[in-house]
Amino acid sequence: MLYEANLKRASALAFGLGATLAAAGPCDIYASGGNPCVAAHSTTRALYSSFSGALYQVKRNSDSATTTIAPLSAGGVANAAAQDTFCASTTCLITIIYDQSGKGNHLTQAPPGGFSGPEANGYDNLASAIGAPVTLNGQKAYGVFVSPGTGYRNDNTNGIATGDVAEGMYAVLDGTHYNSGCCFDYGNAETSNLDTGNGHMEAIYFGTSTAWGSGAGSGPWFMADMENNLFSGLSTGQNTGDPSISYRFFSAFLKGQPNQWALRGGNAASGSLSTYYSGARPSASGYNPMSKEGAIILGIGGDNSVSAQGTFYEGVMTSGYPSDATEASVQANIVAAGYATTSLTSGTALSTGSKVSLRVTTSGYDTRYIAHAGSTVNTQVVTTSSATALKQQASWTVVAGLGNSACVSFQSVDTPGSYIRHYNFALTLAANDGTKQFYEDATFCPKAGLSGTGSSFLAWGYPTRFFRHYENVMYIASQGGVDTFDATGSYNADVSFVVSSSFA
Ligand code: AHR
Ligand code: AHR
Ligand code: AHR
Q: Which helix (H) or strand (E) holds 29?
A: helix 26-32
pLDDT digits (tens, 9 = 90+) for 14-23: 444 434 445 8
pLDDT digits (tens, 9 = 90+) for 322-381: 999 999 999 999 999 999 999 999 999 999 999 999 999 999 999 999 999 999 999 999
In whole angstroms, give the CA distance from residue 287 to residue 126: 32
Q: Provide mean pLDDT across the span 84-91.
A: 97
* Residue 328: closest CA among 275, 279, 277, 281: 275
Q: Which of 16-25, 138-147, 212-221, 355-364 has the lowest mean pLDDT?
A: 16-25
* Closest ligand to residue 151's CA: 1
CB 396 within 8 A of CB 355: yes
Query: How many CB atoms within 10 Å of residue 490?
Result: 16
pLDDT of residue 12: 41
Query: How many CB atoms within 10 Å of residue 480?
Result: 14
Q: Provide mean pLDDT across the span 162-181.
A: 98
Amino acid at 462: Y
470 CA closest ligand 3 atom index? 1
Which protein residue has the closest C-alpha to ligand 1 atom 4? 228
pLDDT of residue 23: 84
Distances in whole angstroms, Cα of residue 179 to Cα of each of 33, 176, 214, 279: 35, 10, 13, 28
DSSP 150: B
Q: Provide mean pLDDT across the span 230-239.
A: 97
Mean of pLDDT over the chain: 95
CB 342 within 8 A of CB 135: yes
Q: Provide mean pLDDT across the span 99-121.
A: 98
Cα of 348 to ligand 2 centre, how many Å?
27
Which of 196, 303, 304 is the pocket-test mutation for ligand 1 (most atoms within 8 Å of CB)?
303
Q: Which residues are catalytic?
A: 227, 303
* Terminal Cα-to-Cα distance of the chain (whole angstroms): 70
pLDDT of residue 13: 42
CB 211 within 8 A of CB 263: no
In short, whether 229's Cβ falls inside 6 Å of ligand 1 is: yes
- Residue 106: which residues within 8 A CB-CB, separation 6 or more? 96, 97, 98, 99, 154
In whole angstroms, give the CA distance from residue 426 to residue 481: 14
In whole angstroms, give the CA distance from residue 226 to residue 492: 44
pLDDT of residue 298: 99
Query: How many CB atoms within 10 Å of residue 306?
Result: 27
- Residue 330: which residues within 8 A CB-CB, separation 6 or more? 26, 29, 30, 170, 253, 322
- Residue 123: which residues within 8 A CB-CB, separation 6 or more? 109, 110, 111, 112, 117
Strand ranges (DSSP E) for 432-501?
A: 444-448, 455-459, 462-470, 473-477, 497-501
Distances in whole angstroms, Cα of residue 347 to Cα of each of 325, 445, 452, 497, 500: 46, 11, 10, 12, 14
Q: Provide mean pLDDT across the span 108-117.
A: 98
| Pairing assessment for the beta strands 127-128 and 396-400 based on DSSP bridges | unpaired
Strand ranges (DSSP E) for 228-386?
A: 230-231, 249-257, 260-267, 274-279, 295-298, 310-319, 339-341, 355-360, 368-373, 376-381
Cα of 37 to ligand 2 centre, how many Å?
38
Cα of 377 to ligand 3 centre, how many Å?
15
Is 18 in a helix, a strand, or coil?
Answer: helix
pLDDT of residue 2: 41
What percentage of residues in the chain have a pLDDT greater than 70?
96
- Residue 102: which residues within 8 A CB-CB, separation 6 or more? none
Q: Provide mean pLDDT across the span 214-236.
A: 98
Q: Provide mean pLDDT across the span 16-37.
A: 80
DSSP 20: G
- Residue 88: which residues within 8 A CB-CB, separation 6 or more? none
Which of 375, 421, 425 is the pocket-test mutation for ligand 2 (most atoms within 8 Å of CB)?
425
Which protein residue has the closest C-alpha to ligand 3 atom 2? 471
pLDDT digits (tens, 9 = 90+) for 41-68: 999 999 999 999 999 999 999 999 999 9
In whole angstroms, give the CA distance from residue 38 to residue 99: 9
pLDDT band at 431 (very low <50, low <70, confident <90, very high): very high
In short, whether 301's Cβ falls inside 6 Å of ligand 1 is: yes
In short, whether 459's Cβ falls inside 6 Å of ligand 1 is: no
CB 268 within 8 A of CB 326: no
- Residue 16: which residues within 8 A CB-CB, separation 6 or more? none
pLDDT digits (tens, 9 = 90+) for 404-424: 999 999 999 999 999 999 999
Q: Provide mean pLDDT across the span 215-233.
A: 98
- Residue 274: which residues within 8 A CB-CB, separation 6 or more? 243, 264, 265, 266
Angle at 222 between CA 220 and CA 223, to 5 degrees: 120
pLDDT of residue 11: 45
- Residue 324: which residues within 8 A CB-CB, separation 6 or more? 264, 273, 275
Cα of 84 to ligand 2 centre, how many Å?
28
| Pairing assessment for the beta strands 396-400 and 497-501 based on DSSP bridges | unpaired
**Residue 136 β-bridge partners:** 139, 339
In whole angstroms, give the CA distance from residue 346 to residue 359: 18
In whole angstroms, give the CA distance from residue 98 to residue 302: 20
- Ligand 3 proximal residues by C-beta, below 6 Å: 362, 365, 469-472, 487, 490, 494
Handedness of CA 125, 130, 132, 138 (dihedral sign): positive
pLDDT at residue 8 tops 60: no
CB 71 within 8 A of CB 78: yes
